[in-house]
């Protein structure tokens, strides 16, 4: 696990004034990575780091001579349109660059004059998915979500017996993961009504969001060589917000016996920024398993995982309907949860994923699964919030939702904050539901 160091000091301030705002997502203690370019310019996408309301253009900073010569090999990788090569260089490289960036951005830094010309306002930027995601695995790590959904379909046996022993997951479709700000068409699929003998092909009627945390793998492992739980986080580059959109009616018909397929592969949304595990060090918490539950097998158990395996990360869902947009009303909160309630930790997910010898690669992506709390206001999907569509949620403008309608925009946000450390934000993962296309 990452130890606290000088980059985490709460008193650090930046010569970038907007980074000192207490409500910013991107203070000098954060420094998350993205792939960006300026709107309307015939530019290459390249790597950047957020600081306040700006982005440090890393290739420009390298060219300006901001960094020491020892960083040259890694900085050359940041002129690419994906972060994979940099991610694959490992924890030591990531930490070395973070330290030099922190020092260059601090008040009184002699690098200010060089770096000022390398800043791009975030309002002028557009983004891409920051890594080439070769493989994507979606986990199911919230026992609250698993129990709530299980009650809808198996009231007498909501939690299947393997759930408390195995970090459950399935392999998803990486090609349909898009960066925040996109729109996607309502998917078609086979739907079968309970009172019908045969299914029909039709647009999804029960479209849902899923409030998840995304996990980017950094340095990989060789095939056949599992990653031990004590080394697992050394292989994790960082976290983001993730919406694994779900077509619940398609899912209900197709998921047995092999699990989700077309109900999950039509769209997923990530936030542009990857917050490194090092930045999250002040927000690590103890992880525990209730004493009356099965305790993890030895390969999923460690002293560090017990002491600091959890992340105190607030997770929020905002919904803005088409009518709200037309009337000039802002999006409103429909859920607030926290990643520290996850039944399985990031380290446990990585250790289990590789225990069979599976070779993870830089840029591979893990979804945490829907993160739900214990209250009605903290559930991370409409399927739970509406009890399977039986009880609509009420919005402040008088509208109701059982599932998403065309024109709805869902935005996921995440942040860490405390009385002893600065706020660390994750930005937004937002997308809009577009009408279904006609199928000839």
For the annotated catalytic residues, the residue numbers are 145
For residue 63, what are the contacts with CB-CB under 8 A and spacing of at least 6? none
Q: Which residues, in sequence order, are bridge partners of residue 311?
A: 284
Alpha-carbon span 109 to 218, nearest angstrom: 30
Tell me the three state secondary structure of residue 394: strand
Q: Cβ–Cβ contacts within 10 Å for residue 323, how many?
A: 15
**Which residues make Cβ contacts (< 8 Å) with residue 327, sequence separation at least 6?**
397
φ, ψ of residue 164 to 5 degrees: the values are -80, 0
Cis bond leading into 298, ω under 30°? no
Strands 424-434 and 409-416: antiparallel
In the numeric block, which tokens belong to residue 2? 């990452």
Residues listed for the chain: 440
Q: What is the CA radius of gyration of the chain?
A: 22
Closest by CA to 170, choosing from 87, 297, 265, 239, is 265
DSSP 226: P
Is the separation of the CB atoms in 401 and 324 below 8 Å? no
């Amino acid at each position: 696990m990452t130890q606290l160091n000088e980059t985490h000091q709460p008193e650090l301030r930046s010569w970038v004034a907007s980074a000192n705002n207490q409500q910013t997502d991107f203070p000098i203690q954060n420094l998350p990575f993205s792939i960006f370019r300026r709107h309307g310019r015939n530019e290459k996408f390249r790597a950047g780091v957020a600081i306040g309301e700006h982005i440090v253009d890393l290739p420009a900073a390298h060219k300006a001579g901001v960094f020491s010569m020892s960083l040259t090999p890694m900085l050359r990788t940041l002129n690419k349109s994906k972060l994979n090569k940099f991610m694959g260089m490992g924890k030591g490289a990531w930490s070395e660059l973070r330290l030099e960036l922190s020092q260059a951005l601090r008040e009184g830094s002699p690098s200010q004059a060089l770096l000022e010309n390398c800043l791009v306002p975030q309002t002028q930027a557009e983004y891409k998915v920051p890594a080439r995601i070769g493989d994507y695995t979606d986990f199911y790590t919230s026992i609250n979500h698993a129990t709530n959904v299980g009650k809808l379909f198996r009231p007498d046996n909501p939690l299947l017996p393997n759930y408390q022993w195995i970090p459950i997951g399935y392999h998803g479709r990486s090609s349909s993961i898009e960066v925040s700000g996109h729109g996607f068409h309502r998917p078609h699929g086979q739907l079968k009504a309970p009172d019908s003998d045969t299914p029909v092909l039709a647009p999804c009627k029960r479209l849902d969001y899923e409030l998840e945390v995304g996990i980017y793998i950094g340095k990989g492992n060789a095939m056949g060589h599992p990653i031990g739980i004590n080394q697992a986080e050394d292989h994790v580059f960082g976290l983001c917000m993730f919406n694994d959109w779900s077509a619940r009616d398609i899912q209900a018909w197709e998921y047995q016996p092999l699990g989700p397929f077309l109900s999950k592969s039509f769209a997923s949304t990530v936030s542009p920024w990857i917050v490194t595990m090092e930045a999250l060090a002040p927000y690590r918490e103890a992880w525990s398993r209730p004493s009356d539950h099965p305790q993890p097998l030895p390969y999923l158990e460690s002293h560090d995982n017990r002491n600091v395996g959890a992340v105190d990360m607030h997770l929020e869902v905002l919904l803005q309907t088409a009518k709200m947009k037309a009337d000039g009303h802002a999006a409103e909160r429909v859920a607030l949860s926290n990643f520290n309630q996850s039944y399985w930790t990031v380290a446990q997910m990585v250790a289990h994923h590789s225990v069979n010898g599976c070779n993870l690669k830089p840029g591979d992506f893990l979804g945490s699964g829907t993160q739900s709390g214990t209250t009605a206001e903290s559930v991370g999907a409409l399927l739970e919030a509406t009890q399977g569509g039986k009880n609509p949620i009420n919005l402040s403008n008088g509208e109701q939702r059982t599932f998403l309608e065309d024109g709805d925009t869902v935005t996921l946000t995440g942040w860490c904050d405390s009385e002893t450390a600065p706020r660390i934000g994750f930005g937004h993962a937002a997308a809009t539901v577009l009408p279904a296309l006609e199928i000839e």
